[in-house]
């Protein structure tokens, strides 16, 4: 089943892969991005590209008049540290920008809105790992609060304006086009530093864990979530899906794996732990498996070479 989709943030890392996955399944794709972080060359052909800010009346009108079946929302302020320093700026983009688009979605009769949320931040410091969707939501950063409030707006405005909202709670996503300057991109940072013959910086003792999911698996999950029948339940977490691997990888293991795949020997330098950093993070994916019929198919071994190739050929 295909249709017409508006992908916001489609000139960025994850959004450009999402746009590509829709095109491969026969969808008509329009990408909206203000290029504040993304690049026009990331927008896959033959998607149409509109350069606009999600807070603008142009963006709202596009959602309202574009005859879209689905709004897939990936544009965001993505930096936790920026959200700590400038919480109002974070909320302007991640909350006000979202509500502006949701207004347009309601007016335009959009059937479903897919929202890029974050399983790495909405649960805060979880008591259970791998963390299921139903775990308490206690974000510790303004970015986490803006992602969780995005899910609440989806639910409330969806009921008021007649669209279905789906929250995709990603773990740490890695793959080609991830900016090594972005703080979430530790895999990109390690690859880029190894290519430049630099040491890898490890904060704390390096035993802290994360759950790394490849961007092409994330993109496929988005396409599946666009048409799947959603659970008939009024629970807050019913239309939310963890998109992850349910596997924990420590920073030390990650450094070793990345270096192995690249045929290098990593030199590590240790720095003081970063304040507020979670010690463990991994997400339970039983629900994505049973409801979306999705499971990750990419691993570090087959995904990392694509990232390395991208660095060698396009990123520099
Ligand atoms: N990368 C991860 O591991 C991860 C994890 C969880 C959730 N997410 C979420 O996934 C989404 C995509 O993240 P990404 O890593 O691809 O980041 P990215 O920065 O590569 O992509 C975001 C895109 O949004 C655009 N954008 C930013 N502000 C905008 C605005 N006001 N108007 C229009 N466009 C704007 C940027 O230009 C960029 O192209 C975000 O919502 C992020 O919060 C990412």
Tens of pLDDT, residue by residue over 128-169, are: 999 999 999 999 999 999 999 999 999 999 999 999 999 999
12 Cα–ligand 1 center, Å = 6
Question: Which sequence positions are flagged as catalytic?
Answer: 143
Q: How far apart are CA 69 and CA 71, in angstroms?
A: 7
Domains observed in the chain: 4-172+213-243 (3.40.50.720), 174-211+245-281+297-315 (3.90.25.10)
CB 55 within 8 A of CB 93: yes
Ligand 1 closest atom vs CA 170: 6
On average, the pLDDT of the chain sits at 96
Q: How far apart are CA 15 and CA 159, in angstroms?
A: 26
Number of Cβ within a 10 Å radius of residue 144: 21
Instruction: Provide the pLDDT for residue 316.
Output: 62
- CB contact set of 268 (below 8 Å; sequence gap of 6+): 199, 200, 201, 202, 206, 252, 255
pLDDT tens figures, 252-279: 999 999 999 999 999 999 999 988 788 9
Report, as ranges of residue numbers, the positions in the chain whose pLDDT lies below 70. 316
Ligand 1 closest atom vs CA 75: 24
Would you call 307 exposed, middle or buried from its count of C-beta atoms within 10 A (0-12, 13-18, 19+)?
A: buried
The candidate with the shortest Cα–Cα distance to 300, out of 243, 267, 264, 256, is 256
89 Cα–ligand 1 center, Å = 15
Instruction: Provide the pLDDT for residue 278.
Output: 86
Instruction: Provide the pLDDT for residue 182.
Output: 75
Number of Cβ within a 10 Å radius of residue 77: 21
Is the entire prediction scored with pTM above 0.85?
yes
Residue closest via CA to ligand 1's atom 43 equals 78
Residues with CB under 6 A from ligand 1: 9, 11-15, 33-38, 53-55, 74-76, 78, 93, 97, 116, 118, 120, 170, 172-173, 184
Tell me which of 39, 55, 76 to substitute to probe ligand 1's pocket, judged by most ligand atoms within 8 Å of the beta carbon. Answer: 76
Q: How far apart are CA 218 and CA 315, in angstroms?
A: 21
């Amino acid at each position: 089943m295909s249709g017409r989709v508006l992908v916001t943030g489609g000139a960025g890392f994850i959004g450009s892969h999402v746009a590509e996955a829709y095109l491969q399944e026969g969808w008509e794709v329009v990408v909206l991005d203000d290029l504040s972080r993304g690049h026009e060359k990331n927008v896959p052909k033959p998607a149409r590209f509109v350069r606009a800010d999600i807070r603008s009346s142009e963006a709202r009108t596009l959602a309202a008049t574009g005859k879209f079946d689905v709004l897939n929302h990936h544009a965001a302020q993505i930096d936790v540290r920026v959200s700590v320093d400038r919480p109002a700026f974070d909320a302007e983009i991640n909350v006000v920008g979202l509500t502006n688009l949701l207004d347009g979605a309601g007016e335009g009769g959009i059937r479903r809105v897919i929202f890029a949320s974050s399983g790495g931040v909405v649960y805060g410091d979880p008591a259970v790992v791998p963390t299921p969707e139903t775990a308490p939501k206690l974000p510790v950063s303004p970015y986490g609060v803006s992602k969780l409030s995005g899910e609440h707006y989806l639910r409330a405005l969806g009921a008021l304006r007649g669209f279905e909202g789906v929250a995709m709670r990603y773990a740490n996503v890695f793959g080609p086009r991830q900016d090594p300057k972005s703080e979430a991109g530790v895999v990109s940072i390690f690859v880029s530093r190894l290519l430049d013959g630099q040491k890898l910086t490890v904060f704390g003792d390096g035993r802290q864990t994360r759950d790394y999911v490849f961007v092409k698996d994330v993109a496929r999950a988005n396409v599946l979530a666009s048409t799947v029948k959603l659970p008939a339940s009024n629970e807050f977490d019913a239309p939310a899906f963890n998109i992850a691997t349910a596997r924990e990888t420590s920073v030390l293991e990650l450094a070793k794996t990345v270096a192995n795949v690249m045929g290098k020997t990593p030199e590590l330098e240790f720095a003081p732990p970063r304040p507020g950093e979670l010690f463990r993070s991994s997400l339970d994916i039983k629900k994505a498996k049973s409801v979306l019929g999705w499971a990750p198919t990419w691993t570090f071994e087959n995904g990392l070479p694509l990232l390395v190739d991208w660095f060698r050929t396009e990123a520099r």
